[in-house]
Structure 1
Amino acid sequence: MQLTRYTDYGLRLLTYLAVMPENELATKESVCAAYGLSPNHIGKIVHQLGKAGYLETRRGKGGGFQLGKPAEEINLGSLVRLLERDLDIFNCQEPRCQIQGVCQLHGMLQEAAQAFLQVLDKYTLADMVYGKQQQLTQILRIVN
C-alpha cells in the first residue's frame, strides 16, 4: 500500500507545525520552502485540514496557520482516513476482473489495509516528532 502524495504532504505539513514555536503562524511559503513543495498543493491541504479542525487558519496580512489542537490529539489513523480519497489497495472494477465473484484476494487486501490503519490508530502527531524536535527544527530551518 502506498499513500498518495496528498497525504504525504499533509503529514509533512503537520510535522512542520508540530515543531514550530507555540503561538507562531506558519505560511504556505515557509512550508513550501522547507520541503520544496508546490504552494497550490499545500493550499488545498491547509484548506481541508482547517475545515476538519486540525488547523487554525488566519487570513490576510500577518495571517497563516497553526495546529488547531495539540499534537497529542491528532491521531495518525484518523488523519490518513481524512486525507486519502480511496483506501482500497486496488480496484476490481476497472478493468472488471473476470474472477471477481470467486476471488478471495480483495477481501484479504481489505483486511491488510484495515490492519495498516489500526497500527496508525495507535499513534499521534506528537509520537511522530517525539525526541526529534530539535533536529526537525534545524532541518526544516524553523527559527525559534
Structure 2
Amino acid sequence: MQLKKYTDYGLRILMYLATLESTDKPSGKLVTIREICDTFSLSANHVNKVVHHLGKLSLIETRRGKNGGFMLARNIDAIRLDYVIRQLEGDEAWIECHKPSCVALPACELNTIVAQGKELFYQYLNQYTLKDLLKNKAQLRTIFTSTP
C-alpha cells in the first residue's frame, strides 16, 4: 500500500504550517501557495487542490485576496493522522472485486482480510497527531526555511 501523492502533499503542508507555530495553537501567520510550492518543489495546481480540500475539512483556514493565504485552523494535537489520511485518501476499498468482477469472488477471503488490515492501519494511526510529526520541529523549521 502506498499513500497517494495528494495525501503526502497534504501531510507536508500541515507539517509546514505547524513548524511556524511557536505553541501548539494556531498563530495566525498566513502562508501562500507560492511559499509551499517553492519549499517542496510542487506545482501550484496540485497545492491549490490540496489546500482547498484541507480548508473544506476545517484543518486550515484560508483567506483570499492580495494579503491572503492560509494557516492552521486547529491545535496541532487535535489533528489526528488517521482522520487526515482517511479524508485525503478517500475511503475506497484497497481490493477491487467488482470492476471488473473477479471470478474468485464467491470463495475469496482476500478482500475481507485486507479490509481488516486497513482498519488496523487506521486504528494504529489514531494514536498519533500532527504534533507527533514535529518531534524535530526546530530542525524541520530550519530545513523548510532554508529551501531555495
Q: What is the TM-score with the length of structure 2 in the denominator?
A: 0.90
Corresponding residue of 1:71: 76
Runs of 4+ that moved beyond 2 A: none
- Cα deviation for residue 71 of structure 1 reads 0.6
What is the rounded CA distance, in whole Å, between the counterparts of 1:85 and 1:116 in structure 2?
14
Pair 1:102 & 2:107 matched = yes
Corresponding residue of 1:136: 140
Corresponding residue of 1:92: 97
Runs of 5+ consecutive residues of structure 1 not aligned to the other structure: none
Is the 8 Å Cα contact of residues 54 and 67 (structure 1) preserved in structure 2?
Answer: yes
- Cα deviation for residue 90 of structure 1 reads 2.0
Is the 8 Å Cα contact of residues 87 and 113 (structure 1) preserved in structure 2?
Answer: no
Instruction: For 1:17, give the aligned amino acid.
Output: L
Corresponding residue of 2:34: 29
SS at match of 2:31: coil
Runs of 5+ consecutive residues of structure 2 not aligned to the other structure: 22-26
Instruction: For 1:136, give the aligned amino acid.
Output: L
Corresponding residue of 2:11: 11
In angstroms, what is the RMSD of aligned CA positions? 1.2
Number of aligned residue pairs: give it.
141
What is the rounded CA distance, in whole Å, between the counterparts of 1:16 and 1:33 in structure 2?
12
SS at match of 1:141: helix
Corresponding residue of 1:58: 63
- Cα deviation for residue 49 of structure 1 reads 1.0
What is the rounded CA distance, in whole Å, between the counterparts of 1:2 and 1:136 in structure 2?
23
What is the rounded CA distance, in whole Å, between the counterparts of 2:17 and 2:139 in structure 1?
14
What is the rounded CA distance, in whole Å, between the counterparts of 2:3 and 2:105 in structure 1?
25
Instruction: For 1:9, give the aligned amino acid.
Output: Y
Q: Percent identity?
A: 41
Q: What is the TM-score with the length of structure 1 in the denominator?
A: 0.93
